[in-house]
Amino acid sequence: MTVPGRRSSTFSRLLRHGFTDPSGAERLLDVPELAELRGDSVLLDGLGATADPDLALRGLVRLVEAQPDAERQTFTTTLLAAKPFRDRLLGVLGASEALGDHLARHPRDWESLVTYEAADLHPGVAEFERGLAEAVDAVSLRVAYRRCLLAIAARDVCGTTDVAEAAAELADLATATLRAALAIARTAAPADAALCRLSVIAMGKCGGHELNYVSDVDVIFVAEPTDGTDAADEGKALQAATRLASHLMRICSETNIEGTIWPVDANLRPEGRNGPLVRTLSSHLAYYQRWAKTWEFQALLKARAVAGDPELGAQYIDAVSPLVWQAAERENFVPDVQKMRRRVVDNIPVAQVDRELKLGPGGLRDVEFAVQLLQLVHGRSDATLHSGTTLDALAALAAGGYVGRADASQLDESYRFLRAMEHRIQLYRLRRTHLVPEDEADLRRLGRSLGLRTDPVTELNRTWKRHAAVVRRLHEKIFYRPLLDAVAQLAPGEIRLSPKAAGQRLEALGYADPAAALRHLEALASGVSRKAAIQRTLLPVLLGWFADSADPDAGLLGFRKVSDALGKTPWYLRLLRDEGAAAENLARVLSAGRLAPDLLLRAPEAVALLGDPEGLKPRGREHLEQEVLAAVGRADDAEQAVAAARGVRRRELFRTAAADLIGSYGTEDSPREPDPGALVDRVGEAVTDLNAATIAGALRAAVRAEWGEELPTRFAVIGVGRFGGHELGYGSDADVLFVHEPREGVDEQEAARAANRVVAEMRRLLQLPTTDPPLLIDADLRPEGKSGPLVRTLKAYAAYYHRWSLVWESQALLRAAPMAGDAELGARFIELVDPLRYPAEGLGEDAIREIRRLKARMESERLPRGADPTLHAKLGRGGLSDVEWTVQLLQMRHGWAEPGLRTTRTREALAAAHAAGLIPTEEAQTLDEAWVLATRVRNAVMLVRGRAGDTFPSGPRELAAVGRYLGYETGHVGEMVDDYRRITRRARAVVEEYFYGA
């Protein structure tokens, strides 16, 4: 029985030695089996030096209790007398609950930790093969594997080996295990073994000599008939090899009473899990030469023959290696690389992103991916880079000048720390995971295992975040910064990337003209000025963002032009350097197409909008009109006035286009807009508002130039078509009707002349050749079309509509809305046309047939010759015209009875028709989806090409840029076109039913 004073003293000692449960530890120390150890201070010191003294003590008690009575004395004596053994054993017990369980099940295995011969410090495959030699089945192989793993873990936790050496030992143990498993499989099926030569190729971390404690072991199997076997028996040989390979996989992967060794994963083979498990060498080569994707060659960087027929394995490696180093020359190299880069973080569950050591931002994959990418690019001409081991390859990249020495050193340090974290997390329960634990006790044990003893949890989190930040920064930097080193002035003695290597890297990033890109970089970053220094800081990240686009060359060229225009402005570079969102937003805008950069380059100071959190929000009609009218009022003449109004329009078009592009692509700070319909609505509303404000300004300028403040006649501009529907796109004209009403005492002919003169002047002013985009006013939807008067009085409209109006004119008035001029006159015009567009009791059958006839005629006559009717966004199958005419027919038939249908907006009217039960949910959603998609296609074409279009571009870069805008990753334009055809085909089926009554 322990006396109170002694108990208190022991309790304090336990606390000082790092025990978190001193009471429990005291009870364990009192068990009879530890009688000889209880009072020995070296034991307590040894336990206190472990990652988790409580866990180590529990494991030790279990191990002592499991010893046979006759051998317990030998164990305890050795434990107290041999410090190296004590440190190794307690170190393992304090870091790994799973290995403690193994020792409790196999209590004699402690003997493997007693002696340390010189050769055992860094054992190779041969030593591990000797350790596995007696295994005859899956169970005994598992036990022998764990015994070898115990020795690796002991060297690791005691610091005898560093993290890279431990990973190499784990890969060597995996190699020995694969060989042992294949031997067991061959012994079980000698007939199969006689028929074939089978080689096992290690991939991934095993192939790269950098395996984790718990990881899938990726392999590829290659086989040939045995020498002397008839070629006709190749099929039998492959069947035999497949049985052997399958048996090997079962031995390693299946769970038995000792658990599982590790899963053997053969999914990196040609065609993945859908392809044959085993192929001949010629079959492998045929696949790689014809069908393989870029990521498969990236995976082959680490290929290494590890088991089976060594000659066949060497032949395989010799045959595929040249293909690996030609991968950067493949046609789809850039899109594939970009896709892989984006998938790194995208596939992580949101709740786990902040705890992901492997895939998260600043994680292990960032290092591995950057290193492998540089190897693929520069390894074509530099064989020193041909290593499958990440840290060895990083050192070779630094030695060759492809990565700065300081950057490589920092990246090496951070990678080692993150891998050590991963190793210790997995070692605890020998489970495959890359997540940093959340439990305080787990974090404490992890921190202590890494040598952080003062405040393990706080120190661990701080150190981990610091290394992750270093990795993230250098991941972005090492691929791009040496490009600048190729053109910038460097410190004496610093190794620089050669212009040829820089050009190769730019080509790999997707730059079509690397020589021009290097010239741009030289112009931006050369010299010792503060401006050049800031550019050298900005460009590594900007180059990455440009490379993510469909046209990196355009992005870099645009950035140079903007920088040339604003480079001497003190706020410009400071904005990009200090406001992360501004730089990324600018990169996205400049590389997305022609329209937004053209608008920006006409007034580069608009860059400031990209750094303001409120800068990309559209401004309302009232605000815009106030600004435009104020600018018009300050101008000296009409041309200056409208130039000011068009300048406001240009700036607002840029604001709208930039917000649209950033919302469509997403940025690090602002994810992609999840609702394409919301983007379409915002663009339509914003462009409509700014065009209406511009027209209001032109009207004011035209009136002031000749009549002062008041026109002899009241005058209103009525928007129709997309203008009246608030659905304008970037390339849309402004469809209008002009209405006037003579003021009291003014002759009607004088009023008509004044109205016509003001219209002519407005149109002239808005189309003057300037650097600003013109605003075209189209009045062809007026009564009698182009043959009718350009301007009519309200009475004349009333008379015409009462006597002569055709059904198509009533349909055109569905989207009529006042846009500028006399608001009261505009409102009276709307009152006039309401009975025509929403006829009482709806349309008669004759009118319905006429609308259908007109639509059918338009489909046959107006589609451009040679245009694909399945891809024409306006007039094609299921396009804008189909959806709009269907919705408008519902409005004209039911608008008199359903107030919700009395709107100029297509989507609002469709939603109202659905709410009124006129069209079912699925059909309404189908029409809405098609209308939104077709509208976005037209907007995308204008943004990308800088001119309006109704069909997908034919050029691959422009088509890819449209795809990016629509949410498709590079390399998926075929999928985009297929989706468009599918969605519009479904919409056309709805049109057939609800418009044509089929």
742 pLDDT higher than 90: yes
Q: Can you give the pLDDT at residue 664?
A: 77
531 pLDDT higher than 90: no
Q: Can you give the pLDDT at residue 490?
A: 38
Q: Which residue has the higher pLDDT, 367 or 672?
A: 367
Q: Can you give the pLDDT at residue 355?
A: 87
Place of tokens 């039998």: 236
Write out pLDDT tens, residues 183-235: 999 999 999 999 999 999 999 999 999 999 999 999 999 999 997 666 567 89
The beta strands (E) that lie in 300-375 are given as 304-308
Average pLDDT over residues 369-392: 89
| Widest pairwise Cα distance in the chain | 127
> What's the residue count for the chain?
998
Return d(Cα 111, Cα 642) in angstroms, integer: 93
Q: For 83-87, 393-397, 526-530, 929-933, which range has the lowest pLDDT when averaged over its residues?
A: 526-530
Distance of CA 370 to the CA centre of its chain: 16
Write out pLDDT tens, residues 535-566: 776 787 788 788 878 888 999 999 999 888 88
Write out pLDDT tens, residues 339-380: 676 666 667 777 777 888 888 888 998 899 889 888 888 888
Residue 818: strand pairing partners: 718
Return d(Cα 461, Cα 354) in angstroms, integer: 11
914 pLDDT higher than 80: yes
580 pLDDT higher than 80: no
- Nearest to residue 113, comparing CAs of 69, 158, 143? 158
Q: Please list, in sequence order, all residues whose beta carbon lies within 8 angstroms of the beta carbon of residue 824, skipping any fewer than 6 positions away.
A: 714
Q: Which residue has the higher pLDDT, 256 or 954?
A: 954
Distance of CA 894 to the CA centre of its chain: 46
Return d(Cα 502, Cα 337) in angstroms, integer: 17
Q: Which of 321-335, 603-617, 645-659, 963-977 has the highest mean pLDDT?
A: 645-659
pTM over the 0.95 mark: no
Return d(Cα 182, Cα 201) in angstroms, integer: 13
Write out pLDDT tens, residues 143-158: 999 999 999 999 999 9
Q: Can you give the pLDDT at residue 588?
A: 87
Average pLDDT, the chain: 88
904 pLDDT higher than 90: yes
Q: Give yes or no for a contact between 325 and 380, defined as CB atoms under 8 angstroms apart.
A: yes
- 3-state helix/strand/coil string of 761-796: HHHHHHCCCCCCCCCCEECCCCCCHHHCCCEEEHHH
Q: Which residue has the higher pLDDT, 329 or 897?
A: 897
